[in-house]
Amino acid sequence: MSSNPALEPKAVSAPGKVFVAGGYLVLDRKYTALVFGLDARIHVEIEPIRTKSGVTLSEIIVRSPQFREAAWEYGYRLTEAGGGIAVTQLRASHDDKLNKNPFVETALTYALTYVSTLLPGMPISPSSISILADQAYYSNPGTAPSPTSRFLNFNVTISEAHKTGLGSSAALVTSFTAALLSYYLPQTHFDLASEASLRILHNLSQASHCAAQGKVGSGFDIASAVYGSCLYRRFSPSVLSSLPEPGNPDFSKKLRALVEGSDWDTEIRKAAVKMPTGLRLVMCDVDCGSQTPGMVKKVLKWRAENGEEAERIWGQLQKGNEALATELTRLATADAENGEGSEKCAKLRQIIGENRTLIRQMSVASRVPIEPPQQTALLDACSSVPGVIGGVVPGAGGYDAIVLLLEDKVEVLFELEELLAGWKVEGEDEGEEGVKIGKVGIIGVREEMVGVKQEDPAIYKEWIKT
């Protein structure tokens, strides 16, 4: 297989996410989740591998140049009986230890298999792929290779990198899949400007991301990576149950039927979520002593054993989540008669406060630290800063981060930074979990309404190894 000169470099990016409302509820199709995209993006650039005349390759090289030892080489071939494209990680010698990346390998397998069903008989040319992450995904200090570089060199291995929990795996799978489809397929088959192609991308990314995780998952993070901020209702788990493993007979045919089919009952309502002019989201990274594992399992166990109490809380939370999205959208579309500052956002502040009360009730009832006392103290203190409307512990909760809604003013952010710089819970008791919150810092992100998008490959030139 020689390099196809018609193939030109392509680049795609996808946003991270923050789960503002609907944690735990999103696992059940009866309920919805309010998810905001973030302007921190994962970028993927793909280009041909240039070979000398007469030299052929069946190889795709993937690099993450911001990290040490972050390169993966894959061979690929079409399998028999419609098993799709088999992807095999290569190594220079048998003594080398394979450094596996399940998200990259699975996304590559699924995307190339889908491409092969659309272009049967067309050879898949070798390519070189580079993955780059915006700074906010990692709390590791980094250095910029040039004054104009958007990206940092973290100078650690990926296993040593400290994630800030912005949904990097979903953003990676989405941008990686979109880059492969944009590169290998003609625009008549795949175009990111097309709603039909976005649906294809969403379905294919959901399938490969779930497979890479080894579980179905709710898929909210892929939805926000593709579409940006949205109100989301998950797909039925049965949608993916009939898809065989890659390499099994008819995998390629069934994958295409799944990706292009109408079985997906996901609801993604972009119009239901807007950010009012003059407001913004801020995320604060929390450095703490430990984390509580298995929170989701514990909450679901409590729900199963306490059906009436759980359904009451979940039903009220669902109403509160919908009210939050509705009020944000109302403020975003209403006229100037809403007033200014705290007067304008009084109802919003009330809704956030009521939702937090319900979350704390669920915390106490399930004995799971969804909003633990340490985070309650932090959120209350932040909410008392003039211009801060309110905040929550996003997603499944715990000690990792908080998200705040505030007026988009320099003085509000400054006062918040002053508070966090000297943050300490007075008379703090570590409690049953043995957790003591340490340093709290603002992550350099804000809301992003746009999902996956095409980028200019020239942006990444200084990072690309040829």
CA 332, 333, 335: angle at the middle one, nearest 5? 105
- Rounded to an integer, what is the distance from CA 124 to the centroid of its chain? 29
Give the type of residue at 268: I
Q: What is the CATH number of domain 279-446?
A: 3.30.70.890
Of 318, 393, 404, 314, nearest to 356 (Cα)?
Answer: 393
Q: Is the dihedral of CA 296, 298, 302, 304 positive or negative?
A: positive
Q: Convert the pLDDT of each residue in 70-129 to its tens digit.
A: 999 999 999 999 999 999 999 865 666 778 899 999 999 999 999 999 999 888 999 999
Contact 258, 239 (CB under 8 A): yes
Q: What dihedral do alpha carbons 105, 106, 107, 109 form, nearest 10°? A: 90
Report the C-alpha gap between 32 and 344 in whole angstroms: 26
Report the C-alpha gap between 367 and 293 in whole angstroms: 13
- Same CATH topology for 10-271+449-463 and 279-446? no
Extended strands (E) in 248-361? 267-269, 279-288
Report the C-alpha gap between 448 and 425 in whole angstroms: 32
Q: Which residue has the tokens 């309920």?
A: 31
For residue 282, give Cα distances in angstroms to 17, 143, 144, 255, 291: 12, 24, 24, 39, 22
Structure tokens at 342: 């705290």
Which SS3 state, helix, strand or coil, does residue 367 take? coil
Class of the domain covering 10-271+449-463 = alpha beta
Of 129, 74, 66, 132, nearest to 105 (Cα)?
Answer: 74
Please give the DSSP secondary-structure letter assigned to residue 143. B
- Rounded to two decimals, what is the model's pTM? 0.92
Per-residue pLDDT of the chain (466 residues; tens, 9 = 90+): 344 447 899 999 999 999 999 989 999 999 999 999 999 999 999 999 876 555 556 899 999 999 999 999 999 999 999 999 999 999 865 666 778 899 999 999 999 999 999 999 888 999 999 999 999 999 888 999 988 899 999 999 999 998 888 889 999 999 999 999 999 999 999 999 999 999 999 999 999 999 998 876 789 999 999 999 999 999 999 999 889 999 999 999 999 999 999 999 999 999 889 999 999 999 998 866 445 558 888 999 999 999 899 999 999 999 999 999 999 999 998 754 555 555 789 999 999 999 999 999 999 999 999 999 999 999 999 999 999 999 999 988 888 889 999 999 999 999 999 999 988 765 455 454 556 666 888 998 999 999 999 999 999 999 987 5
Report the C-alpha gap between 267 and 22 in whole angstroms: 14
Domain residue extents for the chain = 10-271+449-463, 279-446
For 32-84, give the secondary structure using H, E and C.
CEEEEEEEEEEEEEEEECCCCCCCCCCEEEEECCCCECCEEEEEEEECHHHCC
Which SS3 state, helix, strand or coil, does residue 88 take? strand
